[in-house]
Amino acid sequence: MSHKPPAPKPPAQRVQGAALPAARRHPRTGKPAARDHSVATSVPLSRQLQATAAVVQAVRAGRSLTTELACVSPELRPGVQALTFQVMRQLGRAMALRERLASKAPPAAADALLCTALALSWQDEGAPYPAHTLVNQAVEAARQQRQTAAQSGFINACLRRFLREREGLVAETDSDLQARWNHPRWWVARVQEEYPKDWQQLLDMAQQPAPMSLRVDNRHHTVAAYQAQLLALGLGAKAVGACGLQLERAVPVHQLPGFDLGHVSVQDAAAQVAAPLLLQGLEVDRPWRILDACAAPGGKTGHLLACYPQAQILALDVDAARCQRIEDNLKRLGAQARAQVRAADAAQPAQWWDGVAFDAILLDAPCTASGIVRRHPDVRWLRRPGDSAQLAQTQAKLLKALWPLLAPGGRLLYCTCSVFRSEGEDMVQAFLQRNTDARMLPSPGHLIPGKIPTGLPLKHNALGEHDGFYYALLEKDRD
């Protein structure tokens, strides 16, 4: 998803357009936080809050934030996206405050608007507007729409009490793990158990908007040369990974030189590990047959082709619409003729496999996406405690189905954008116990946001503020 540059914070009297703060600090560390990005609009703030609350209500009902934002009208979308991202990152605190203001939840639309206002105003640092402005406009938003008009008095009473007692109410919620860390309690407990030394850092990082990272196609530019192009346009960036750049501020992709020509792609530095890890030490006696299972949206497919143009790649995805995204990405990269894209279930090889073994398989398996909550802050509220175990069954099924398709001596790279061990280390160790013809090659394992990873495939710069990932490179015996 592209992000637009942040707008400056408007003065208090300007409440016509929603914009995020010019600067903010992390609520616990006090360190400057990366900015969310929005643009000021002429739309009244009350309307922005109405639309934001509607998206929040949809997420709480189990719908994807990305999907819901795509349905917001263009004039509202930039502000609503910025506000909604902030609400998602503060929703745990907001829900705890609402429970103290009203033990019984109001109807869903009113509850979403109330929690939206609380999430945006519970602390001064990082608030898009002064608390009293947000409260006034939230009450106005309640009065103006049919879904919440009947509860406008209730919302007004709750928010006025919040303004009077804010300090005490916030202090009361500090002991609530969900409020303090803005993740579901089960999520906090799991991270504490699996990362006893790093859990606070991991949860803190999830609260900070992720940077925009690029992968430079070295067939067109070196990293240094493209970095110089960006600098000439006033866009600062630092080198990350083998061929990546992390921008100082996010920009729409049309502002990136050569983007439409495939000179650069938007891809997190942790995701950029996949292709060079799978292909390291490649012995090219013939073009390798490579399967990119679960390939959408095609970033790793494109990277594989950039690293190894001679490869014969089959890119699969179970969703035909997502396959179109692979096609579109490959077309932009000028690589559409060098990969076959098919809509098929990777776990059902009988439906699509031609019987010729693959030299390499990249399995970027479906997962909880617990490693990319910085980019998708709704994920924490969409997931349920049993989701990881259910997805682990899907991951095991895919590994079982694809391993026989690998040629002797071939490699399978298993990866997930998850920090949960059941979807990473535990999954692979169980697979190795069941498959005595598999051995683990040097692999990074779990890449944790905020920590410098080890075991990476090439000597290069650190990955910067990367996402959470897991990588295991498996090799099949030649006998």
Known catalytic residues are 417
Task: Round to whole Å and give the CA distance between 388 and 417.
Answer: 12
What six digits make up the tokens of 94?
Answer: 């907001």
- Show the beta-strand stretches assigned E in 30-170: none
Query: Which of 151, 158, 112 lies closest to 135, judged by CA?
Result: 158
For the chain, the residue count is 479
Separation CA 117–CA 266 (nearest Å): 33
Say if CB 141 and CB 148 are below 8 A apart. yes
The SS3 of residue 443 is strand
At 32 the three-state DSSP class reads strand
Q: Classify burial at 415, counting beta carbons within 10 Å of its beta carbon; exposed 0-12, middle 13-18, buried 19 or more.
A: buried
At 29, which amino acid appears? T
Separation between Cα atoms, residue 9 and residue 82, nearest integer Å: 13
Cα dihedral sign for 39, 42, 45, 48? Answer: negative
- The Cα 180–Cα 93 span in angstroms is 7
Contacts for 225 with CB less than 8 Å, ≥ 6 apart: none
Spatial separation of the C-alpha atoms in residues 453 and 444, rounded to whole Å: 7
Residue 315 and residue 337 in contact, taking contact as beta carbons nearer than 8 Å: no
- Of residues 215, 222, 220, the one with CA closest to residue 246: 215
Give the alpha-carbon dihedral of 22, 25, 31, 32, to 10 degrees. Answer: -10
Contact 394, 429 (CB under 8 A): no
DSSP string, 397-438: HHHHHHGGGEEEEEEEEEEES---GGGTHHHHHHHHHH-TTE
